[in-house]
Amino acid sequence: MDFAFTEDQQAIFEAVKEFCDEELKPKAQEVDEAGEYPWDNVRKMAELGLFGIPAPEEFGGLGFDFMTWTVVAEMLSSACTTSGAVFGAHMLAEYPIMAFGTDEQKQKYLSPLATGEKIGAFGLTEPGAGSDAGAVRTRATREGDDYLLNGTKLFITNGGDAEIYVIIANVQPERGARGITAFILEKGMPGFEFGRDERKMAYPALSNRELIFNDARVPAENILGRERRGFRVALDTLGMGRIGMAIGAVGLAQAAYEAAVEYAQVREQFGQKIADFQAVQFMLADMATKIEAARLLSYQAAWLKDQGREFEKQAAMAKVFASEACTWVCSKALQVHGGYGYTKEYPLERYYREAKLFEIVEGTSEIQRLVIANRVLKEAQQK
């Protein structure tokens, strides 16, 4: 594995660092308190070309690899986790179009996603289909040159604010995963509406809406991949998305850790800096170690993906380890702040609430462990 970055990659990282330091981080608390979708940040991310990092230049992208995207995702999440979540959820629409789209679909949908002219979202989860992705019941019925979609998705990040949606439906629900088909939908298509926006324990500025399909008419040319081959599209997208979730957790953990290191060197008790107490030092040491391990696992998964090699096991390992490390780090970073960490004066209480999400979305920790165990046992049987 080689994580040495080129001059072009370094240049983009420097530009993103400046953007994070000057724009994103100082406003992160404000974004959270306002509770409104962070359009200002989104437009600036688009101006910097960040939404198109891994997309080919011919479709408006910057033509970098997923490793570059991964490093940028960490920086964004560290500075403003809400903006990082918008960035990650957007890629869940852009990536499957890049991987499975026809040239016409790429021209029409990938280009505006890559430039950030339009925001994307990915709709898989339904009231009865969460961890069990094969249980999707949103029905797609062929009618002439179109399909009619009927059903409901929920929790969809960027829902309502996004204009382009990759939707996982089923042409034969009785066949389970073998009927699943992926479609590209546009906001404003007849029969496609938005429902409730979830109220959550964190991320009030992030939209997580219901998508409602009531005879939503979608042209057959908007099938992504082939009919009844959509489960592959969904699994591939989730695999890639897990790298995004893992590195998002690393970014948030890094922010909490840095705050703890800074505070420990300023706060005094018993006539000395709390950083001089070994109990505090050990917390900082364990935080730094867990973050480094989580970052390396995430990089490894992104590197394997860029090499065109199997990366699903490593992505699941990265996701489960990084998300649980993030929850732990945010808890300990708050602990280092004592009572002040529990107040709104510091961002620690927000970090602590934000952290939990990484253990749930795009496959809970339990599902990641199932994925890892399946691979590990299969590898053992092949020996």
Ligand X SMILES: Cc1cc2nc3c(=O)[nH]c(=O)nc-3n(C[C@H](O)[C@H](O)[C@H](O)COP(=O)(O)OP(=O)(O)OC[C@H]3O[C@@H](n4cnc5c(N)ncnc54)[C@H](O)[C@@H]3O)c2cc1C
Q: Which is nearer to ligand X, 316 or 357 (CB)?
A: 357
| Residue among 261 and 370 whose Cβ is closer to ligand X | 370
Say whether residue 87 binds ligand X (CB under 6 A).
no
Residue type, 83: S
At 168, phi and psi to the nearest 5?
-95, 115
Q: Pick from 56, 63, 130, 176: which binds ligand X (CB under 6 A)?
A: 130
**350 three-state secondary structure:** helix
Q: Does 215 bind ligand X (CB under 6 A)?
A: no
**In the block, which residue shows the tokens 């499957």?**
96
Q: Please report, as residue ranges, which positions from 162 to 201 form the binding site for ligand X (by CB under 6 A).
A: 200
Residues 14-33 that bind ligand X (CB under 6 A): none
Active-site residue (options: 7, 22, 362, 379)? 362
Which of 59, 155, 263, 351 is in the footprint of ligand X by CB under 6 A?
A: 155
Size of the site for ligand X (CB under 6 A): 21
Query: Which two tokens mark 180?
Result: 């699943």
197/227 with CB nearer ligand X: 197
Question: Which residue stretch of 44-52, 250-258, 354-362, 372-380 sits at the interface with ligand X (rule: CB under 6 A)?
Answer: 354-362
Q: Which x/- pattern, by CB under 6 A, does the window 90-129 give for ligand X?
A: --------------------------------xxxx----
CA distance 74 to 40: 20
CB closer to ligand X, 44 vs 200: 200
CB 49 within 8 A of CB 69: no
Considering only 73, 76, 86, 156, the residue that binds ligand X (CB under 6 A) is 156
Q: What share of the chain is helix, strand, coil (3-state, %, to 5)?
A: 60, 15, 25
Instruction: Please give the Cα distance from 370 to 16 (Å, whole number).
Output: 36
Does 238 bind ligand X (CB under 6 A)? Our answer is: no
Nearer to ligand X, 280 or 312 (CB): 312
Q: How many angstroms separate the Cα of 264 from the Cα of each of 257, 327, 347, 354? A: 10, 20, 15, 22
Stretch that binds ligand X, among 219-227, 292-300, 360-368, 371-379 (CB under 6 A): 360-368
H helical segments located in the chain: 7-19, 25-34, 39-47, 66-79, 81-100, 103-105, 111-115, 230-264, 278-306, 312-336, 338-341, 348-355, 365-382
Least CB distance from residue 177 to ligand X, whole Å?
14
In this chain, which of 82, 208, 222, 368 binds ligand X, going by CB under 6 A? 208
Residue 366 interacting with ligand X (CB under 6 A): yes
- Shortest Å distance, C-beta 230 to ligand X: 13
Contact 83, 38 (CB under 8 A): yes
Q: Residues near 264 by Cβ (< 8 Å), separated by ≥ 6?
A: 273, 274, 275, 280, 284, 336
Task: Give the DSSP letter of residue 106.
Answer: I
CB contact at 8 A, 226 and 85: no
131 binds ligand X (CB under 6 A): yes
Q: Does 349 bind ligand X (CB under 6 A)?
A: no
CA angle 330, 336, 338 (to 5 degrees): 105
Report the residue number, 331 or 364, with the smaller CB distance to ligand X.
364
Can you say whether residue 102 is alpha, beta or left, with left for phi > 0 and alpha for psi between -120 and 50 degrees?
A: beta
User: CA-CA distances (angstroms) from residue 104 to 61, 107, 140, 222, 323?
Assistant: 16, 5, 22, 10, 37
DSSP string, 5-22: PPHHHHHHHHHHHHHIII
Rounded least distance, CB 202 to ligand X, Å: 8
Q: Are strands 120-123 and 164-170 parallel, antiparallel or unpaired?
A: parallel
Residue closer to ligand X by CB (options 264, 371) is 371
Active site residue 362: yes
Q: Does 348 bind ligand X (CB under 6 A)?
A: no
Stretch that binds ligand X, among 268-276, 286-294, 338-346, 355-363 (CB under 6 A): 355-363
Of the two residues 62 and 119, which places its CB atom closer to ligand X in the complex? 119
Q: What positions carry a catalytic annotation?
A: 362
Instruction: Point out which residues bind ligand X (CB under 6 A).
Output: 89, 122-125, 130-131, 155-157, 200, 208, 357, 360-364, 366-367, 370
